[in-house]
Amino acid sequence: MTDALELDALWEDFHRAVNMTSAELAAWLKVRDAAEDTEPLPEQAGSPTGQHVLAILQKRRTDLTEDDLRVMRKVVDTVDEEADVENEPEAEDTRRRHRLMTIGHDPLKP
């Protein structure tokens, strides 16, 4: 398991990267997957990573598992990498925003 200092840093980095609330993320995952032929059960909407992020947001720090920590690191790395992308065409920027929102980060949110 990660030591206390590493866990504290990861917790902070994760909550910096994931700037959507659990309610916002849950709503986005439902909207994102909504289609006549593809809509899953509402509680199963979204990618496995998006669902895992949603579960992490509803946990206390002391309840995190090794799998949670792995997903948290992945989300932080993804958001940090995407933040380095500049001057994309508008259509690609929209796709990028939607991809990031699927893991709980809305780049347009302050």
Paired tokens of 40: 């899953």
Q: Is 60 exceeded by the pLDDT of residue 15?
A: yes
Phi and psi angles of residue 56, each rounded to the nearest 5 degrees, phi first: -65, -40
Confidence of residue 11 (pLDDT cuts 50, 70, 90): very high
Angle, helix 48-57 to helix 22-33, in steps of 10 degrees: 160
Q: How many CA atoms lie within 13 A of 18 on its CB side?
A: 30
Q: What integer pLDDT is reported at residue 71 of this predicted model?
A: 98
**Which residues neighbour 56 within 8 Å (Cβ) at sequence distance 6 or greater?**
14, 64, 68, 71, 72
Q: What integer pLDDT is reported at residue 33 of this predicted model?
A: 55
Q: Is 60 exceeded by the pLDDT of residue 77?
A: yes
Confidence of residue 79 (pLDDT cuts 50, 70, 90): very high
Its pTM stands at 0.82
